[in-house]
Structure 1
């Protein structure tokens, strides 16, 4: 094929617009039930979790207060009973 064969294609059409800048602004952090989480919410653990690097086990039903959202919509930062600066996956959390 020559360059002339491609002259009929419109590469500037909306189908080739790969601008993903708007996608990062609309990311919503959700818990395991699909409820939207916001900064300062309280959540409950849905299962026992072993905290890496410590001997602490967080039990199912533990209440975590005042969470902070991160850039990743699947993770939140928080403080637990004995552990500070903890990052938890949202799939293990339920909004309280």
Structure 2
């Protein structure tokens, strides 16, 4: 079961917030700290989640950089 930066379990459909500015690979975009995403999806890896961000579309984030809202 994936866990966020505060060791809370993440489930499909949860809302998360990014805890650190993150650079996006392959682009010059930056996901700012505090960016929120709703309805996350779990991936086959326990340390990654998939979510939709308005500006960037669907992205995969490491769970150590997010916290559950």
TM-score range, shorter chain: over 0.9
Greater percentage in strand: 2
Q: TM-score, normalised by structure 2?
A: 0.94
Q: Distance in 2 between matches of 1:65 and 1:55?
A: 23
Runs (4 or more) in structure 1 with deviation over 3 Å come to none
Gaps of 5+ in 2: none
CA distance in 1, matches of 2:12, 2:40: 6
TM normalised by structure 1 equals: 0.69
**Which residue of 22, 33, 40 corresponds with 2:6?**
33
User: Larger % of helix: which?
Assistant: 1
Alpha-carbon distance, 1:53 to partner: 1.1
Q: Which protein, 1 or 2, shows the higher relative CO under an 8 Å CA cutoff with sep ≥ 6?
A: 2
